[in-house]
Amino acid sequence: AQTVTQSQPEMSVQEAETVTLSCTYDTSESDYYLFWYKQPPSRQMILVIRQEAYKQQNATENRFSVNFQKAAKSFSLKISDSQLGDAAMYFCAYRREDTASKLTFGTGTRLQVTL
C-alpha cells in the first residue's frame, strides 16, 4: 500500500521569505502523480502544484516549486516570497496513474506566515 509522510506538523515563515515543506512517500509503482494541496481556513481544497513521476523536470507554478527526487521518493514544496495568504494547511498527496485511483494524503503541515 502507498503511504505519504509529512514529518513537519507545523512550520513558520516570515513574509517575503522562503520555506520548504517536506514530503516522502512509499510506492512500488513506477508511474504515478504527486500533488500539493492547500487547505485554508475555509477548508476548500486547492491544488497548488502537480508532478508527473515520469517527468524529470521539477514542476513550478509562480512562487511554488517542487524538488522531486524519484529515487529517494521525496517530494518537497518550496514557497518563495511567502505571503500572508499562504497561511494554510498543506497536504502532500499521491495517486497512481490510472484514472479511477484514489488520492492518498499525508498528515499535513500547518504553515504560519508572520510579519
Where do contacts with other proteins occur on this chain (CB under 8 A)? 33, 35, 42-45, 47, 50, 52, 91, 95, 99-100, 102-108, 110
CB of 2 to other proteins, least distance (A): 12
CB nearer to other proteins: give 30 or 115: 30
Secondary structure (3-state) at 113:
strand
CB of 62 to other proteins, least distance (A): 15
Q: In this structure, is the dihedral angle defined by the CA atoms of residues 86, 89, 95 and 99, taken in order, positive or negative?
A: negative
Placement of cell 476548500 in the chain: 44
- From CA 57, how far away is CA 39, in angstroms rounded? 26
CB of 8 to other proteins, least distance (A): 14
